[in-house]
């Protein structure tokens, strides 16, 4: 750390006085970085110490005094001490770092503080007079997606697994068995726990090994970078921030790069980001304006520039930075950098020979690596119920242990009662403290009864969810042939939650509609223009020009028309698709000009294609000029000066262009609510009327306006925009403020109307969901009339629906308080309480209400009142919504969509919510809802990436919920209840047995049976059941959506059902135990005439009694599962009967052989002896029958007297199946067929 060169010390002193707080001090590692030699030594002098302390004080003061200016203070450049430094450099460095740490900690909360980094392109120092060169440390380019290493796998994996409550509980039980004298062997708890931990560790270890392999392949990939004007090849992991990299066509970018130049003359390149966000379309990126002309290695190597940018963050679509390009001039050229200049690691270069870029984020700081982190975990209602039940059984376990401990000491307190001779304690144990002895006995009983907590339930549930998710992805009916896409499962933890949805919040454009826009008409100054007939987007031969549907526009109309059409041709961000590396128009078959347009917004493509049919064709953007073809086939060129990009808050976009004649125009297009308030001239009333008429017909409308700019106006705009663009802090906010100042005083030109067709079967899907008792809300940014027309088209609103409006227009006439109370009285007077139980989507005896609310009104509802209370209006609003069959929220901003979802999710009923959308503006509500579903649409894959599930079309939501959700909820609910039931059957006889053995903690079952009951004898049948059970057919669920209501509100995991299963387990346990007990009391029953004692009767011992109880139990719990199975295949038969056969074979082998590794042979010949008794067979059959009788009676009586809708359908289907002789499906019908894409 000790720096010994004068030049190095001078630079360090300068750094202390001049560096920004975001820059870190790091001394160079080698002499080659400073280019000096020589060595000086010295001692730490008083002068040096005083000098550095004074400078530190001054620096600290400057840091604290800079807050109000918005920039960090930069004192004049000076040395902190004499040029010949001493060994005090180390101390000075430490003091400077300490001072900065305190100052930065104090200033970190300041509004103007910027957390950024400075990068030196090519590791070159800036020219003299520029900023001091500050070498910085950044991670190398290694990607580490793996979780473990060879050395930390075992401890880290064990730590993670034992954070789960169930695993930690069994670990404690196992340790207790090791510490104290317990009635069961530690193997009985340790072996199942070891099995669960080992299986999980192997699975996680294998997955991590695959990640290691992928990381090594990625890190060793060769990369070309420039060094001293030449191309050098090295491994990807050796790249550093600041390196200049060359990437060729079809290669993947090795790190996050700032795009400097490309082989294309216009300084652009095309990339695909399929590995990042799944989008296969080509995206256009732009090189830095001042470097795009550097095409050779020598040119790039001579570049002197620094880049200031934000610290790494995971948002793939956001980047803020600026580049300072140094030349012979004294001041550097400063250019803003945005996401369009950033080439992301993982993206692939397309249609471009090569590009040059400088590395700014490497390794684990790249956006791809930062996105490895998973989204916050969502927990399903079933998982929450399972944890509650677990706590209940834990309380039962503690109660059992406490009762037995107390009764043991009560029993021993009676005269002449002591522990049996075979359970006597030593003298030291007898003299132990009574409390300590009681605690030991309590723990021993806890160990004895601990099997009531199912050790393998969590593993089985995880396997069921993981394997079950494949049935969704394999579903060929949810595969869309047009897009070649199928359903995606991003998380398998919420499969069962799909069967509990009560509210669906859906986007409109691209979700309910096709997002396939078609230009219908335009209105210019109140006059309507319609293009001629169009077939598949092409003008029909012989048809050209415009149809007028109203009176002649009058004089001057042609000039206004052409200005309007030019505005549509210029105000967009469309790229013209390359065809054989040639930009621009292509000849169509009819001899006209046609182009293939690419844009992230289908609206823009529809408008440009529509205006093409009206006589104006957009050709290309080349060398900063936009070219259009006018009606006279003349090419017009406009210089593109500025683009004011669209955002969902402003709801508009603008361009500033300059014509060849020097006229400067600002063209603006956007929503009517965004344009009309900024207009000062134009036929607003006529155009507004036409816009509203088109909206009522369900057409998407946009308004177009413009204004002319003087050179002075444009110069002021440039200054304003440049200041906002180069800002590193709050750039988006400053740009929005700048746009507000620029986009005003406009002249209204006209409006457009575009049709977005409803998706196939969208109306049928919504109707089915409403019949299932699910409330559907539409959340959209469109205007009210357009959205309402779509709601009528998709049958969300019906002809008899009474619409209630809570909109800005109404609030102008009445106060929010009056409107809410009026709406509340209306719905309560006519419909009473419209709950899920009586809601059917179309009720004959109740008035059907629909609510329409816009974003501005919602803001007022959500806004806290002046007295600080914000809940009154919200509760009133929620009460109105509860009594409406459908709700339409229009003019919604993305965050407002999330607010709506959160408001419903946190209401007092706590309903399960689902949000579905296709665009980036839907991500917030998708993340907020209990279940988020993304539609793989035309607006990118951001929604699909951030969702829990993804579907190709909205219509697939019907099967996702009504079939898959229905099945998985029933399967997982049965699995959970069955696990607790079979463990009650298992442990309750053990509890009863203590009353007959003096509470001596004697176990009823053999150690092998204790160990294998949950992990071998009874685990596989329930796992298969939870994967394949279909209580009704798929066609029935699709045909009868109302069956979804039978499982609503966690119906199968309510306390009533839970208590039934628990009591059923207690009843069966009583039958097992006392049935076997009475058999043993009756000596005539136990005599078999083969083994004769002195009393001529065979005396069964303790292990025979326990084996008999265990045998009846295994057969009962397995056959109960068989009784509950409705969907039989040969796989079910194989697993269920195979499990019983496995138990019998295991018992024969376990008791038929003397195992030399066992210290006891208490089970030798027990099972064979029991089966040799004919009465024992009779008792087994009798007890199994009696145990299953209550379940059979319940099924019969309930189906006859109080059948549910599902049971009525089951009976109908059974009769039809018997009458038709329908056969069960074969295995080939259950497994997926290969999908052809």
List the binding residues. Answer: 507-509, 604, 646, 669, 700, 780-782, 891, 897, 918, 921-922
* Burial (Cβ within 10 Å: 0-12, 13-18, ≥19) of residue 1006: buried
Phi, psi of 338 (to 5 degrees): -135, -170
> Considering only CA atoms, which of 796, 802, 880 is closest in space to residue 846?
802
> Using an 8 Å Cβ cutoff, are 481 and 1237 in contact?
no
DSSP 961: I
Task: Locate 666 and state its tokens.
Answer: 């600002």
Annotated binding site for Mg(2+): 507, 509, 918, 922
Cα separation, 935 vs 952, whole angstroms: 6
> Considering only CA atoms, which of 563, 559, 579 is closest in space to residue 611?
563
DSSP 249: T
Q: Which residue is catalytic, options 100, 277, 475, 507?
A: 507
Q: In terms of C-beta distances under 8 Å and separation of at least 24 residues, what long-range contacts does 611-616 make, across chains too?
A: 611/519, 611/522, 611/565, 611/568, 611/569, 613/519, 613/531, 613/532, 613/534, 613/539, 614/522, 614/529, 614/531, 614/546, 614/565, 615/544, 615/545, 615/546, 615/565, 616/562, 616/565, 616/566, 616/568, 616/569
Cα separation, 9 vs 25, whole angstroms: 12
Which residues are CB-contacts of 457 (< 8 A; sequence separation ≥ 6)? 166, 386, 975, 976, 979
Q: Which helix (H) or strand (E) holds 1089?
A: none
> Considering only CA atoms, which of 980, 1195, 938, 893 is closest in space to residue 389?
980
First to last CA, the chain: 60
> Using an 8 Å Cβ cutoff, are 343 and 257 in contact?
yes
Q: Known catalytic residue: 507?
A: yes
623: left (phi over 0), alpha (psi -120 to 50) or beta: left
b/e map 643-664, b = 16+ CB within 10 Å: ebebeeebbbbbbbbbeeeeeb
Angle between helices 457-473 and 966-993 (to 10 degrees): 160
> Using an 8 Å Cβ cutoff, are 305 and 299 in contact?
no
> Considering only CA atoms, which of 223, 263, 451, 480 is closest in space to residue 359?
223
**Can you give the length of the chain in residues?**
1237
Q: Which helix (H) or strand (E) holds 933?
A: strand 931-935
Cα separation, 1108 vs 1071, whole angstroms: 12
Alpha carbon of 647 to those of 5, 43, 369, 618, 644: distances in Å? 54, 62, 27, 23, 9
Cα separation, 913 vs 901, whole angstroms: 7
Cα separation, 1021 vs 1137, whole angstroms: 9
* Burial (Cβ within 10 Å: 0-12, 13-18, ≥19) of residue 960: buried
> Using an 8 Å Cβ cutoff, are 908 and 872 in contact?
no
> Using an 8 Å Cβ cutoff, are 33 and 105 in contact?
no
Task: Locate 256 and state its tokens.
Answer: 């996050």
Residue 434 has a CB neighbour count (10 Å cut-off) of: 8
Cα separation, 1090 vs 166, whole angstroms: 48
> Using an 8 Å Cβ cutoff, are 623 and 611 in contact?
no
Q: List residues with catalytic annotation.
A: 507
């Amino acid at each position: 750390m000790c720096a010994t060169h004068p030049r190095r010390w001078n630079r360090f002193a300068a750094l202390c006085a001049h560096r920004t707080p975001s820059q870190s001090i790091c001394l160079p590692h080698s002499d080659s970085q400073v280019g000096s030699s020589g060595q000086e030594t010295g001692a730490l002098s008083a002068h040096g110490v005083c000098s550095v302390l004074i400078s530190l004080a001054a620096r600290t003061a400057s840091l604290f005094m800079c807050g109000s200016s918005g920039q960090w203070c930069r004192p004049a450049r000076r040395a902190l001490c004499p040029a010949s430094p001493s060994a005090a450099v180390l101390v000075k460095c430490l003091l400077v770092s300490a001072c900065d740490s305190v100052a930065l900690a104090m200033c970190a909360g300041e509004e103007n503080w910027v957390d950024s980094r400075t990068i030196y392109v090519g590791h070159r120092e800036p020219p003299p007079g520029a900023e001091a060169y500050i070498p910085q440390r950044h991670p190398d380019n290694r990607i580490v997606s793996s979780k473990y290493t060879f050395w930390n796998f075992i401890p880290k994996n064990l730590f993670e697994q034992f954070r789960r409550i169930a695993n930690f509980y069994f670990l404690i039980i196992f340790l207790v068995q090791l510490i104290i004298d317990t009635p069961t062997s530690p193997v009985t708890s340790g072996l199942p726990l070891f099995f669960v931990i080992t299986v999980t560790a192997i699975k996680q270890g294998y997955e991590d090994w695959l990640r290691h392999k992928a990381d090594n392949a990625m890190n060793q990939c060769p990369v070309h970078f420039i060094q001293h004007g030449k191309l050098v090849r090295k491994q990807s992991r050796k790249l550093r921030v600041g390196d200049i990299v060359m990437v060729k066509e079809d290669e993947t970018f090795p790190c996050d790069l700032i795009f400097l130049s490309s082989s294309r003359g216009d300084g652009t390149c095309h990339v695909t980001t399929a590995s990042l966000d799944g989008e296969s379309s080509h995206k256009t990126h732009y090189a830095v304006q001042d470097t795009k002309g550097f095409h050779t290695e020598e040119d790039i190597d001579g570049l002197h520039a620094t880049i200031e940018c934000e610290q790494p963050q995971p948002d793939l679509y956001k980047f803020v930075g600026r580049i300072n390009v140094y030349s012979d001039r004294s001041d550097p050229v400063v250019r803003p950098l945005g996401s369009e200049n950033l080439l992301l690691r993982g993206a692939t270069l397309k249609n471009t020979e090569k590009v040059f870029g400088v590395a700014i984020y490497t390794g684990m700081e790249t956006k791809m690596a930062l996105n490895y982190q998973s989204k916050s975990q969502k927990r399903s209602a079933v998982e929450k119920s399972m944890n509650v039940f677990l706590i209940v059984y834990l309380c039962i376990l503690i109660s059992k242990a406490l009762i037995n401990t107390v009764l043991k000491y009560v029993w021993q307190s009676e005269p002449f009662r002591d522990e049996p001779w075979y359970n006597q304690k030593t003298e030291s144990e007898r003299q132990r403290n009574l409390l300590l002895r009681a605690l030991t006995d309590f723990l021993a009983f806890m160990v004895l009864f601990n099997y009531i907590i199912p050790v393998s339930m969590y593993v089985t549930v995880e396997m069921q969810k993981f394997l079950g998710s494949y049935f969704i992805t394999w579903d060929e009916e949810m595969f869309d042939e047009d897009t070649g896409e199928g359903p995606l499962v991003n998380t398998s933890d919420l499969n069962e939650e799909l069967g509990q949805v009560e509210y669906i919040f859906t986007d409109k454009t691209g979700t309910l509609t096709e997002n396939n826009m078609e230009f219908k008409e335009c209105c210019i100054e109140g006059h309507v223009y319609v293009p001629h007939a169009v077939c598949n987007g092409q003008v029909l031969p012989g048809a050209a020009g415009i149809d007028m549907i109203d009176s002649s526009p009058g004089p001057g109309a042609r000039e206004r028309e052409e200005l309007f059409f030019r505005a549509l041709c210029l105000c967009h961000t469309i790229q013209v698709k390359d065809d054989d590396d040639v930009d621009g128009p292509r000849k169509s078959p009819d001899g006209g000009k046609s182009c293939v347009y690419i844009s992230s917004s289908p609206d823009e493509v529809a408008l440009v294609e529509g205006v093409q049919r009206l006589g104006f064709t957009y050709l290309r953007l080349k060398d900063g000029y936009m070219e259009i073809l006018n009606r006279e086939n003349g090419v017009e060129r406009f210089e593109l000066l500025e683009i004011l990009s669209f955002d969902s808050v402003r709801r508009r976009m603008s361009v500033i262009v300059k014509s060849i004649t020097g006229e400067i125009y600002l063209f603006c297009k956007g929503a009517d609510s965004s344009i009309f308030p900024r207009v000062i001239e134009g036929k607003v009333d006529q155009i507004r009327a036409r816009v509203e008429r088109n909206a009522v017909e369900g057409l998407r409308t946009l308004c177009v306006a413009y204004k002319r700019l003087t050179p002075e106006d444009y110069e002021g705009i440039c200054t304003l925009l440049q200041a906002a663009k180069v800002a590193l802090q709050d750039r988006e906010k400053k740009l929005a403020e700048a746009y507000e100042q620029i986009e005003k005083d406009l002249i209204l030109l006209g409006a457009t109307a575009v049709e977005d067709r409803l998706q196939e079967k969208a109306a049928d899907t919504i109707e089915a969901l409403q019949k299932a008792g699910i409330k559907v809300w539409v959340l959209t940014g469109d205007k009210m009339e357009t959205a309402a027309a779509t709601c009528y088209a998709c049958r969300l609103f019906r002809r008899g629906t009474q619409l209630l409006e809570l909109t800005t227009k109404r609030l102008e006439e009445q106060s929010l308080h009056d409107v809410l109370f009026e709406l509340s009285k209306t719905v309560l007077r006519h419909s009473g309480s419209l709950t899920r139980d009586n809601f059917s989507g179309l009720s004959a005896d109740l008035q059907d209400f629909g609510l329409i609310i816009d974003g501005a009104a919602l803001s007022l509802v959500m806004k806290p009142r002046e007295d600080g209370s914000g809940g009154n209006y919200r509760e009133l609003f929620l009460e109105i919504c509860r009594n409406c069959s459908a709700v339409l929220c229009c003019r919604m901003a993305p965050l407002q969509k999330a607010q709506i979802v959160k408001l419903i999710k946190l209401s007092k009923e706590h309903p399960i919510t689902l949000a579905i959308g296709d665009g980036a503006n839907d991500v917030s509500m998708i993340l907020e809802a209990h279940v988020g579903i993304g539609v793989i649409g035309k607006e990118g894959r951001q929604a699909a990436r951030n969702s829990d599930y993804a579907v190709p079309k909205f219509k697939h939501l019907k099967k996702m919920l009504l079939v898959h959700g229905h099945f998985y909820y029933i399967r997982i609910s049965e699995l959970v209840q069955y696990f607790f039931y079979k463990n009650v059957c298992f442990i309750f006889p053990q509890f009863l047995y203590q009353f007959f053995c003096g509470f001596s903690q004697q176990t009823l079952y053999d150690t092998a049976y204790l160990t294998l009951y949950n992990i071998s004898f009874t685990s596989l049948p329930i796992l298969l059941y939870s994967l394949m059970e279909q209580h009704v057919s798929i066609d029935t669920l699709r045909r009868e959506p109302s069956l979804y209501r039978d499982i609503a509100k966690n119906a199968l995991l309510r306390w009533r059902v839970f208590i039934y299963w628990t009591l059923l387990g207690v009843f069966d346990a009583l039958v097992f135990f006392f049935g076997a007990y009475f058999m043993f009391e009756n000596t005539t029953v136990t005599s078999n005439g083969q083994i004769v004692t002195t009393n001529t009767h065979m005396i069964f011992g303790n292990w025979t009694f326990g084996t008999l109880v265990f045998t009846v139990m295994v057969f009962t719990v397995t056959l109960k599962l068989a009784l509950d199975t409705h969907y039989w295949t040969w796989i079910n038969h194989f697993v269920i009967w195979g499990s019983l056969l496995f138990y019998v074979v295991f018992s024969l082998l376990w008791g038929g052989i003397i195992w030399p590794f066992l210290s006891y042979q208490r089970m030798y010949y027990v099972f064979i002896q029991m089966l040799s008794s004919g009465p024992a067979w009779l008792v087994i059959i009798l007890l199994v029958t009696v145990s299953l009788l209550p379940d059979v009676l319940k099924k019969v009586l309930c189906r006859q007297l109080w059948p549910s809708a599902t049971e009525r359908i089951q009976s109908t289907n059974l009769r039809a199946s018997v009458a038709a002789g329908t056969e069960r499906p074969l295995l080939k019908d259950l497994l997926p067929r290969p999908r052809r894409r």
